[in-house]
Every structure is written in structure tokens, then in C-alpha cells.
């Protein structure tokens, strides 16, 4: 009985040590895993962390703001660097308005981002668009803070 308890305790210590070793190697960015906060170049995480994967719009508008153009300029450069990547531009709206209105607005937002990227040299064949309207909110809530986050076009690798 004592041997069994001792053996169980030893096994638990060995298991904890093994878990500690694997997380240490993951945090150093070793082979087989992305390190703490380090995205694999050319990945969706790289796009989101280092370039920005979404642009934001004013209420009921699909006109690109200055900050949106800056993000899309970075996306265009990134897409030139990774020509193997194709993207889907996903248009979104806040919860206000009818479903039909928000689907149409989301599509106009996705199209605005696509047209801007195309004008910056990204081949149209590498991009497609879709609108989710108000069906996929980024932020939950019925306030201006949430609504402003949900008025966007998001660039997703496909």
C-alpha cells in the first residue's frame, strides 16, 4: 500500500515535470510550435497581430476612413509578400437596422476593402467577399462601444 502511494506520488511529480518542460520549449519558440505571441509568418495570426485584419467604418457608412486605408495599405504589402495567400473580405454591421439592410451594408463594406486592395495591386482573383450583416458580432452589447467594433470588414485567409 505504501509502495503504491509512493509510486503514485512519483508518477505525479514526473508528469508535472514533463508538462513544465513542454511549456518551456513552447515559450522559446522552438520547433513545432509558435512561441508566446509569435505568429508563423504568412499565417492568419501573423496578419492579425502584425498587420491588422480588420478595418472599421462609421455608422451606416461604407466609406474607408483614413485609419482603414492605412491598415489596407499594410494588408496589400503583406499580400504582395505572401502571394500564395488568398483572402475573403467579410463585411459586418452593428445590430441596428433590418437584416436585409445590414447584409447589403456589410457587402458594400467588404467590396470597399476589396476594391482598395485591388487598386494597390492585389489580384482580384485572390480575393472574394461575403457579408454577414449583423449575424457575426465581434463585440456583444447594445452600446456605441460594441457597435463601433462590429462595423467592420475583416480579412481572412482562405
| Nearest in space to 53 (alpha carbons), one of 83, 28, 24, 75 | 75
Higher pLDDT, 28 or 75: 75
End-to-end CA distance of the chain: 57
pLDDT at 37: 74
Q: What percent of the chain has pLDDT over 90?
A: 76
Q: What integer best gives the mean pLDDT of the chain?
A: 85
pTM for the model: 0.77
Query: Cell 451594408 identifies what position?
Result: 105
Distance (Å, rounded) from C-alpha 87 to C-alpha 16? 42
Would you call 12 helix, strand, or coil by DSSP? Answer: helix
Among 8-17, 84-93, 125-134, 138-147, name the one with the lowest average pLDDT: 8-17
Q: List the beta bridge partners of residue 128.
A: 88
Taking only the tens place, the pLDDT of each residue in 5-30 is 544 544 444 444 444 443 333 333 33
Helices in 28-63 by DSSP H: which ranges?
Answer: 44-46
CB atoms within 10 A of CB 80: 11
Query: Cell 509512493 identifies what position?
Result: 6
Exposed e or buried b for every residue in 17-35, given b needs 16+ CB within 10 A? eeeeeeeeeeeeeeeeeee
Amino acid at each position: 500500500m505504501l509502495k503504491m502511494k509512493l509510486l503514485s506520488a512519483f508518477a505525479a511529480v514526473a508528469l508535472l515535470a514533463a508538462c513544465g518542460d513542454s511549456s518551456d520549449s513552447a515559450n522559446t519558440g522552438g520547433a513545432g510550435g509558435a512561441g508566446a505571441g509569435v505568429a508563423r509568418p504568412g499565417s492568419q495570426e501573423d496578419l492579425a497581430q502584425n498587420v491588422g485584419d480588420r478595418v472599421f467604418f462609421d455608422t451606416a457608412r461604407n466609406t474607408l476612413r483614413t485609419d482603414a486605408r492605412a491598415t489596407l495599405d499594410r494588408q496589400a504589402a503583406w499580400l504582395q509578400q505572401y502571394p500564395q495567400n488568398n483572402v475573403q473580405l467579410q463585411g459586418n454591421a452593428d445590430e441596428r437596422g433590418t437584416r436585409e439592410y445590414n447584409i447589403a451594408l456589410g457587402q458594400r463594406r467588404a467590396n470597399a476593402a476589396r476594391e482598395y486592395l485591388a487598386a494597390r495591386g492585389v489580384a482580384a482573383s485572390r480575393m472574394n467577399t461575403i457579408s454577414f450583416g449583423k449575424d457575426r458580432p465581434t463585440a456583444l452589447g447594445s452600446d456605441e462601444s460594441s457597435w463601433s467594433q462590429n462595423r467592420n470588414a475583416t480579412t481572412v485567409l482562405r
